Amino acid sequence: MKITIVGAAGGEVTGSAYYVQTKQASVLVDCGLFQGGRKSEALNRPPTGVKQKLDAVLITHGHLDHTGRLPLLARRGHMAPIYATPATIEMTALILRDSARIQAADAERRNRKRQRAGEPPQEPLYTPEHAEAAIQCLKPVPYQQPVTVAPGVQAIWAESGHMLGSASIQLLVEEGGKTKRIVFSGDLGPRSAPILKEFEPFSQADMVFLESTYGDHDHRPFAETVEEFVRVVQDAVERRGKILVPTFAVGRAQLLTSLLAWMVRKKKVRPFPMFLDSPMAIEATNIYLRHRELFDEAMTKFVAEKPLRADLKAMKLCVSAEDSMKINDVAGPCLVMAGAGMCNAGRILHHLKQNLWKPETHVLIVGYQSHESLGRRLVEGAKVVSIHGEKVAVAAEVHTMGGFSAHAGQTDLLKWFSSIAPSKPRVVLTHGEDKARAVLAKKIQQQFKLPSRLPKMGDVIEL
Ligand SMILES: [Zn+2]
């Protein structure tokens, strides 16, 4: 059997994809989009080497960097069943439709420029039709039950605590009368995060592919981050300022929404105007509420006690651009959650432009900010920024809240690995920048006496 690394390797964090081939079967595990700059995005092709007919695609979770190249498979005619948990199927459909819309809009903008330059138009990476074709192939699988996905290949999905429906996957591959176990961690969530259940590690593997996004450090404890969040909200409400939260539509938006409901219920803050200014985040929240079976005990109790809506009567859901624009007229205090999460596009830009220059404004950074993003400039303390070609002074207070991350820190990664370590697997570290991978490899060597391989893109691993 051989496994080709076709994404999220060589220091690259996005584009997750693994191509598993045996004598009788070929299976792809994840098929993510490369994101975060031109160099990465140039890699967005169907996974190389996938020539023969695919038997199946297995998805760990719905995030774009794990699903975003599925429409490219459809475009190439590589139609195969795509297996995922029911919640992941709903998230994947939401995310792929949005991605296809963005691809089309980007292509249109590029082509207007090309036309002015007398150059022929370029096609978008994929169209809504390709996304729909991929969505049609999605097939639900339960957690913790072996499913035959290809000749001689069974797969088991187990909770990974990273986003709604997320999973690690164990493959049981039979070849020449022997069964080999290969485990893909997928993205692992922090154990202390609310809403979702904790990850359930596998206990056996011949080979394990482990994510290493935060392999080099731990986040600030979640409870401390919540305390800071409460303080910032209370202060802004008192000073009648606006709180702007650039947020990714899936995951962070739901976490913050539930925290705000908790604050109101526990009377930590009196109800004040809040806006979920993102149609996609609104849709993702509905998917969360349809899958309460995936909530942890505390969240199950919290929503059973009283619906979130009862605490959040002051929260307005803004679907149209008009609704979004009206937030300008709201005199503080209020809280606005809007995309994009890295302030590189979307409705948040327009709220930042209107409010960054006011000292009573607070900006809460709750997710990863890439190097070239406006969000990173704010985190680094820029005094003046440019938004839509206009100079805007930054008088607002900017708070970075790393404790809200959806990824396990180093301690939790090692905790997950400790269940599987006694089976002495070969270890492959992916989905991390070089420094994070190197530090985690050293830790695994020290604690478990196991060497790790840090593959490059295109590496082929034989088993
Ligand atoms: Zn993810």
pLDDT in tens, 98-133: 999 988 988 898 899 999 999 999 899 999 999 999
Ligand 1 centroid – CA 187 distance (Å): 5
Distance 228 CA to ligand 1 centre (A): 25
Q: Give the distance (Å) from ligand 1 centre to CA of residue 291.
A: 18
User: Quick count: other Cβ atoms within 10 Å of Cβ 110?
Assistant: 14
Average pLDDT over residues 192-213: 96
Buried b (16+ CB within 10 A) or exposed e, 332-351: bbbbbbbbbbbbbebbbbbb
- Residue 406 CA to ligand 1 centre (angstroms): 8
- Across the range 247-253, mean pLDDT stands at 90
- Cβ partners under 8 Å of residue 310, min gap 6: none
| 54 CA from centroid of ligand 1 (Å) | 24
Per-residue pLDDT of 293-315, as tens digits, reads 999 999 999 999 999 999 999 99
d(CA 353, ligand 1 centre) in Å: 29
Calculate how far, in angstroms, residue 61's C-alpha sits from the geometric centre of ligand 1: 7
Q: What is the pLDDT of residues 218-227, one digit of tens each?
A: 999 999 999 9
Confidence class for position 215, pLDDT limits 50, 70, 90: very high
Distance from Cα 442 to the centre of ligand 1, integer Å:
24
- Nearest alpha-carbon partner for 173 in 159, 164, 183: 183
Reply yes or no on whether the pLDDT at 52 is more than 80.
no
Residue 192 has pLDDT above 90, yes or no: no
pLDDT of residue 248: 85
Closest to 142 measured CA to CA, from 161, 156, 162: 156
pLDDT of residue 37: 65
At residue 112, the pLDDT reads 93
Report how far ligand 1's centroid is from the alpha carbon of 368 (Å): 12
Q: Which domains does the chain have, with CATH numbers?
A: 2-217+406-462 (3.60.15.10), 222-404 (3.40.50.10890)
What is the tally of helices (H) and strands (E) in the chain?
15, 22
More confident call, 176 vs 233: 233
Dihedral-angle region of residue 352 (phi above 0 means left; psi in -120 to 50 means alpha; beta otherwise): alpha
Q: Facing residues of 155 across strands?
A: 147, 171
Cα of 427 from ligand 1 centre, angstroms: 20
Q: In angstroms, what is the span from residue 21 Cα to ligand 1's centroid?
A: 25
pLDDT at 371 over 80: no
Radius of gyration from C-alpha coordinates of the chain: 22
pLDDT of residue 8: 83
Spatial distance between the Cα atoms of 259 and 251, rounded to a whole number of angstroms: 12
Q: Tell how far the Cα of 8 is from the centroid of ligand 1, in angstroms.
A: 12
Which amino acid type is present at position 271? P
What's the chain's average pLDDT?
93
Q: 390 vs 347, 350, 361, 363, 374, CA distance in Å?
A: 16, 11, 19, 19, 13
Ligand 1 center to residue 416 CA distance, Å?
Answer: 16
Instruction: Report the C-alpha gap between 159 and 163 in whole angstroms.
Output: 10
Given a contact cutoff of 8 angstroms between Cβ atoms, the answer to whether 308 and 257 are in contact is: yes
Closest CA to 14 of 64, 71, 83, 89: 64
For the residues 157-178, what does the mean pLDDT come to?
Answer: 96
**CA separation (Å) from 13 to 35, 85, 257, 368, 374?**
9, 23, 27, 12, 20
How sure is the predictor about 173, in pLDDT bands with cuts at 50, 70 and 90? very high
Query: From the CA of 66, how far away is ligand 1's center (Å)?
Result: 7
Q: CA–CA separation, 432 vs 25, rounded Å? A: 29
Distance 32 CA to ligand 1 centre (A): 10
Centre of ligand 1 to C-alpha 60, Å, is 9
**Residue 211 φ/ψ, nearest 5 degrees:** -70, 155
Over the stretch 413-453, which tens digit does the pLDDT of each residue have?
Answer: 999 999 999 999 999 999 988 899 999 999 999 999 999 99
Expressed in angstroms and rounded, the spacing between residue 82 Cα and the centre of ligand 1 is: 18
- Spatial neighbors of 297 by CB under 8 A, at least 6 apart, are none
CA of 339 to the centre of ligand 1 (A): 17
Specify the pLDDT at position 287. 97
Which of the pair, 30 or 432, is modelled with greater confidence?
30
DSSP for 8-62? S-TT--S--EEEEE-SS-EEEEEEPPP-SSHHHHTT-SSPTT--SPP-EEE-S--
